[in-house]
Amino acid sequence: MESLDMPVGQLEGSLPPCLRIAVFGNRRAFWHDLGPHGESDPRFVCNVGRISEWLPVRHHPGVILPTSVLDVEARRETDDDKEAERLWLKAQRVLLGEAE
């Protein structure tokens, strides 16, 4: 089977501020600020899942992200920026197998 891993250096510095990605093995944690100007409900989405493939992002030319087959239970949404930060930290712990 072909490896889905991408060198970390190819992610660092290439993401717009509205996206955060952490990759470990064949899984990834994902955080997205969908509406920094209040145009989206919910504003923040955070999830963890197994990487299915790497695809270019339509709204961010030059950015290639690991897409994921998601378990609905792994997806969390919020409009609160502090809760979004907590969700991002928890997603990283889940990714590393440190939390459920």
Position 85 scores a pLDDT of: 95
Q: What is the model's pTM?
A: 0.75
66, two tokens: 């690991």
Q: List, for residues 18-42, the tens digit of each pLDDT value.
A: 889 999 888 899 999 988 666 778 8
Strands (E), 34-75: 44-57, 60-69
pLDDT of 72 strictly over 70? no
